[in-house]
């Protein structure tokens, strides 16, 4: 078996992490070469020295986020914060997804993504996020209707979608707290408590 410095970067056969060119060993024989980190060496004094080289300690990857299994009709959020509207096909009633693409200002559109996007959703949209979307886009995140009623503008979504998706609706005590724009509107429309 031959052992020499590696000329090219490769995957360590021991730990699976990348070994940079010249930082490890190429072992094996022609046609069956493997790369590994160089053996650790003690550097420095016996008291204050330490090992240099060798396989790095394994870094724990963050736990994968579980996708929502078989989502129902509604609006969801992916791990990256992308909004996904889940709808059901008319004939088959199979779920598919649309993602929101903002165009700047208060406009944007929902674009068809098919079934593949469904594996990326991790949770339903919160009432606060739905209200923020409505305040920014001027339309309901669930049905895309324009928010033109004063209470709907204040809440960020309409009464029908509030009922359908279990969101607060009606008075200031139930109003969704979104800092900024909505507070003054909600105060004037819903009155004080």
| Shared domain check, 132 and 113 | no
C-alpha span between 164 and 45 (Å, rounded)? 71
Residue 64 Rama label (left phi>0; alpha psi -120 to 50; beta): beta
Residue 185 pLDDT exceeds 50:
no
| Shared domain check, 143 and 193 | yes
Q: How many domains does the chain divide into?
A: 3
Residue 118 pLDDT exceeds 80:
yes
Q: Is residue 52 part of a domain?
A: no
> Binning pLDDT at 50, 70 and 90, where does residue 186 land?
very low
| Shared domain check, 131 and 145 | yes
Q: Are strands 83-88 and 95-104 parallel, antiparallel or unpaired?
A: antiparallel
Determine the pLDDT at residue 24. Answer: 84
- Flag the least confident range among 40-44, 46-50, 86-90, 116-120: 46-50
Residue-range definition of the domain harbouring residue 12: 2-39
Residue 168 pLDDT exceeds 80:
yes
pTM over 0.85: no
| Shared domain check, 192 and 130 | yes
Q: Is residue 45 part of a domain?
A: no
Q: Is residue 155 part of a domain?
A: yes
Q: Is residue 61 part of a domain?
A: no
| Shared domain check, 137 and 193 | yes
C-alpha span between 89 and 149 (Å, rounded)? 30
| Shared domain check, 146 and 180 | yes
| Shared domain check, 166 and 103 | no
Q: Is residue 181 part of a domain?
A: yes
Q: Distances in Å between the alpha carbon of 3 and those of 6, 94, 138?
A: 9, 57, 67
Determine the pLDDT at residue 188. Answer: 35
At 13-23, the pLDDT tens digits run 888 888 888 88
Of 125, 148, 163, the residue that ends a domain is 125
Q: Is residue 119 part of a domain?
A: yes
At 149-161, the pLDDT tens digits run 888 888 999 999 9
Higher local confidence (pLDDT), 174 or 116:
116
| Shared domain check, 168 and 116 | no
Q: Is residue 47 part of a domain?
A: no
Determine the pLDDT at residue 1. Answer: 61
Instruction: Find all residues with CB under 8 Å of 103, minimum gap 6, and list them.
Output: 109
| Shared domain check, 158 and 105 | no
Residue 176 pLDDT exceeds 80:
no
| Shared domain check, 109 and 83 | yes
Residue 36 pLDDT exceeds 80:
yes
- Flag the least confident range among 27-31, 51-55, 57-61, 88-92: 57-61
Q: Is residue 60 part of a domain?
A: no
Determine the pLDDT at residue 40. Answer: 75
What average pLDDT is seen over the chain? 79
Higher local confidence (pLDDT), 79 or 68:
79
| Shared domain check, 133 and 99 | no
């Amino acid at each position: 078996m031959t052992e020499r410095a590696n000329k090219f970067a490769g995957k360590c056969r021991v730990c699976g992490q990348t070994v940079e060119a010249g930082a490890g060993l190429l072992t094996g024989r022609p046609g069956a070469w493997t790369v590994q980190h160089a053996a650790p060496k003690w550097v420095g004094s016996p008291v204050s020295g330490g090992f240099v080289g060798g396989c790095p300690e394994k870094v724990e990857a963050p736990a994968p986020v579980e996708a929502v299994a078989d989502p129902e009709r509604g609006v969801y959020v992916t791990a990256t914060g992308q909004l996904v509207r889940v709808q059901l096909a008319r004939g088959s009633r199979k779920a598919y997804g649309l993602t929101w693409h903002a165009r700047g200002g208060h406009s944007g559109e929902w674009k068809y993504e098919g079934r593949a996007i469904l594996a990326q959703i991790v949770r339903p949209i919160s009432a606060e996020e739905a209200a923020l979307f409505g305040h920014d886009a001027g339309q309901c995140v669930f049905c895309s209707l324009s928010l033109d009623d004063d209470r709907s503008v204040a809440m960020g979504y309409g009464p029908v979608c509030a009922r359908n998706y279990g969101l607060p609706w009606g008075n200031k005590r139930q109003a969704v707290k979104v800092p900024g724009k909505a507070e003054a509107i909600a105060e004037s429309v819903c009155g004080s408590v």
